[in-house]
Amino acid sequence: MQFMREANHLEMMNSTKDLDSESVDITNTLHIPMESYMKTAESISRASADSKDAVQHMCTTKRCPVCDEELFEDMNICYGCLYDFSRTSSDREQGKYEAHPSAQQKSDMHTNELTSSEFLIHSEILDTKIRFSNQLRVGRSSSNDVVLHAHSVSRNHIRIFINKDEVLVEDCGATNEAKIHGRAIMDPVSVMVGDTIDVCGITFTRLS
């Protein structure tokens, strides 16, 4: 019996020793060289410092010189007045002059007058386009630029003409008044691109 107890004790000691030995082996497999550990620690420290700098930079603010809006330092455009921080002072000075044209520039703009206009003429039997540079007379008389033979059309019905930078239409004493936007044309009326003039069921739509 004494021998059995000693044998069991030895077996348990051996078993414990094997377990400890296995544990040591596992620890050895997870061993990290000191050099790699230091590099990893340095990388983590550097990443933490970069994050701290980024947060600090993000929290830094500035004020817009135009509307005094408080903005983040890295913003190039003010969301209050759209001031552009990336433009140089010379660019901004040039922008001022561009925003307020000189008298000569204004004069040049006035000389850029409309020189011609194009209309689409639509009837039951024909669609055609016509371009003119000064005026377009419409009526039943053969002296007109566009002759309409319908009896409801007056001899001289309307006149479409260019005045500087706009196109106008006026009534020429027609019995059945022409219409634009559903209203009878009395005094000269401006005709915008896309507008349609109705002359007794025949339409004139401005294209340009």
Q: Taking the model in full, what pTM does it have?
A: 0.48
Rounded to the nearest integer, the mean pLDDT of the chain is: 74
Greater confidence, 19 or 197?
Answer: 197
CATH classification of 117-206 is 1.20.58.1610, yes or no? no
pLDDT classification of 14: cutoffs 50, 70, 90: very low
Domain spans of the chain, in order of start: 59-87, 117-206
Summarised one tens digit per residue, pLDDT across range 173-187 is 999 999 999 999 989
pLDDT, position 106: 52
Other residues' Cβ atoms within 10 Å of the Cβ of residue 204: 23
HSE toward the beta carbon, residue 126, CA cutoff 13 A = 6
